[in-house]
Structure 1
Amino acid sequence: MNEEMEALYRNNTWEIVDLPKGRKAIGCRWIYKIKYKSNEEIERYKARLVAKGYSQREGYHSKKDNRVCRLIKSLYGLKQAPRKGNEKLSSSLSSFGFEQSINDYSLFVKKI
């Protein structure tokens, strides 16, 4: 969990801000997974922070503190996460000279 949190902080995934009036925070939870090697030995333990994009209930916060984490980058579990990931991939490939196909948006071509 510490490694995941460090990565999120290092990538400036969110900023701490006051919760706007009339808005509700979306919660999050931890997902734990064990990664195995091909010979079935444990390679590592993995923790991932996932947003509860399916819910509109308030996330955890102190009664005295009304600040929340405003996402700057997408987090696993949000409905727009795949779209944001695709946007990032498309812009990166375009910067390397690839062109996106009009007929198949998952196809990128680089003319030499």
Structure 2
Amino acid sequence: MRSTISDDYVVYLQEHEFDMGLEDDSISVSQVKQSSDSEKWIEVMKNEMKSMKDNGVWDLVELPKGVKPIGCKWIFKTKQDSKGNIVRYMARLVAKGFTPKEGIDYKETFSPVSSKDSFRIIMTLVAHYDLELHQMDVKTAFLNGNIDETIYMVQPENFESNDSKQLVCRLKRSIYGLKQASRQWYRKFDQVITSFGFKENTVDQYIYLKFNGSKFIILVLYVDDILLASSDVGLLHETKRFLSSKFDMKDLGNASFVLGI
């Protein structure tokens, strides 16, 4: 097993996990309700809660005596295109106040991030061989990972159960903000993609390669962003269909603005 990355690096990744080229609007739920874009913000909050429900992230239970639940908060973001125009509103529910003890509450904590050098090499291959280059986004990626620990969390602000406000959320799946969430997501993704015939790169484990005769496709994983570079359009779309059958994906089509580049 790979050893845990140093705390400073983990903190950086956790901050970056819900950044990914987004601008932090630093607003509260009450400010969202009063803003001119309130309908758009509330809609994405509802979508986030639907993702939680669809993924079976928690059960509402009585809080055991002597147990203190962790908190949670809403993070609001706007995603911009290369020209600075807002193209997407995003609301993410993030766990907070979690101070785990390594070996008890969590194990490995690093995020699945390919290196920038690997990214540059692949872009060179794309240009040299005139490969098809497409981008996909995994919606609420971390919710795909299971957790082995028992963690209780307060109900999300603005979405408390009307008849069960005294209950808390017992987490069954990873949620953004938990230190082990990124590791659990990577483990799940690796199992799924290797079952489809992809082989992990021995140098950069977040890059995968699949050959089909003389055709090939390269997959680059950067937390929840996926780049697909292929010599064959058919193989590209076959991989897209497979990913969409396993995860809630957003197909972004031809890649034009990647990781802020």
TM-score by length of 1: 0.74
Gap runs ≥5 in structure 2: 1-44, 101-151, 213-261
Residue in 2 aligned with 1:4?
A: 48
From the superposition, tell whether residues 41 and 18 of structure 1 become closer, same or farther in structure 2 (CA, over 3 Å): same
Q: Quote the Cα distance in structure 2 between the aligned partners of 1:6 and 1:101.
A: 35
Name the aligned partner's letter for residue 83 of structure 1. R
Percent of aligned pairs with the same amino acid: 45
Q: Quote the Cα distance in structure 1 between the aligned partners of 2:201 and 2:71.
A: 37
From the superposition, tell whether residues 100 and 50 of structure 1 become closer, same or farther in structure 2 (CA, over 3 Å): same
Residue in 2 aligned with 1:30?
A: 74
Query: Is residue 2:190 matched to residue 1:90?
Result: yes
Give the C-alpha shift of residue 31 in structure 1.
0.6
Residue in 1 aligned with 2:57?
A: 13
Query: Is residue 2:96 matched to residue 1:52?
Result: yes
Give the C-alpha shift of residue 21 in structure 1.
2.7
Q: Quote the Cα distance in structure 1 between the aligned partners of 2:85 and 2:186.
A: 34
Q: Runs ≥4 in structure 1, deviation > 2 angstroms?
A: 53-56, 58-62, 97-112
Of Structure 1 and Structure 2, the greater helix share is in 2
From the superposition, tell whether residues 38 and 91 of structure 1 become closer, same or farther in structure 2 (CA, over 3 Å): same
Q: Quote the Cα distance in structure 1 between the aligned partners of 2:47 and 2:92.
A: 10
From the superposition, tell whether residues 94 and 36 of structure 1 become closer, same or farther in structure 2 (CA, over 3 Å): same
Gap runs ≥5 in structure 1: none
TM-score by length of 2: 0.36
Aligned residues, how many?
109
Whether the aligned pair in 2 keeps the contact of 1:31 and 1:48 (CA below 8 Å) is yes
From the superposition, tell whether residues 59 and 70 of structure 1 become closer, same or farther in structure 2 (CA, over 3 Å): closer
Query: Is residue 2:176 matched to residue 1:76?
Result: yes
Q: Quote the Cα distance in structure 1 between the aligned partners of 2:200 and 2:66.
A: 40
Name the aligned partner's letter for residue 77 of structure 1. G
Superposed CA RMSD in Å reads 2.9
Whether the aligned pair in 1 keeps the contact of 2:70 and 2:97 (CA below 8 Å) is yes
From the superposition, tell whether residues 23 and 102 of structure 1 become closer, same or farther in structure 2 (CA, over 3 Å): farther
Whether the aligned pair in 1 keeps the contact of 2:154 and 2:169 (CA below 8 Å) is no
Q: Quote the Cα distance in structure 2 between the aligned partners of 1:107 and 1:38.
A: 25
